[in-house]
Amino acid sequence: MREIKEIIVHCADTPEGRDDRAADIKRWHTKERGWSDIGYHYVIDLDGTIEPGRPIETAGAHCTGHNANSIGICYVGGCDEKMKPKDTRTDAQKASLQLLLKYLVAKYPNVTIYGHRDFANKSCPSFDAKEEYKTLTGK
């Protein structure tokens, strides 16, 4: 089993309200980028459904230099209608993300939660995940 040290939150970089699913993201990653699978371990749909992506036992493909020891979570959305960064999380997505993070922190108590933007020159996930979820880990 991989040693999990980080949970990295992402957005799909899709327009607010567009109902993409894990299957769509998997298609983008496999057909358009040539990857073997979806890059994330979990996808959170607009309605709050938590969909599985890559198995946790398999390193993700979501954050260069951090895939070996992290879990990648992506929420659908992250942009306004003009494709500018915006925190578009629905109430259901916020609740599901909080629930999933609590579960993962309990399972991997030494993790730190980050946003993709903490490691890349990007706005992803369009909010400050590290700050918002610091009380879950005390970090």
Marked catalytic residue, from 10, 26, 62, 66: 10
- For residues 101 and 7, the answer to whether their CB atoms sit within 8 Å is yes
* pLDDT tens readout for residues 89-121: 999 999 999 999 999 999 999 999 999 999 999
Residue 125 has a pLDDT of 98
pLDDT of 139 strictly over 90: no
**Annotated domain spans of the chain:** 6-130
Q: Which of 5, 94, 108, 122 is catalytic?
A: 122
**CATH class, range 6-130:** alpha beta
Q: Is 116 a catalytic residue?
A: yes
Report the alpha-carbon distance of residue 70 to residue 88 in Å, rounded. Answer: 24
Question: Does residue 122 have an active-site annotation?
Answer: yes
- Provide the whole-model pTM: 0.97
134: annotated active-site residue: no
**In the chain, how long is the greatest CA-to-CA distance?**
41
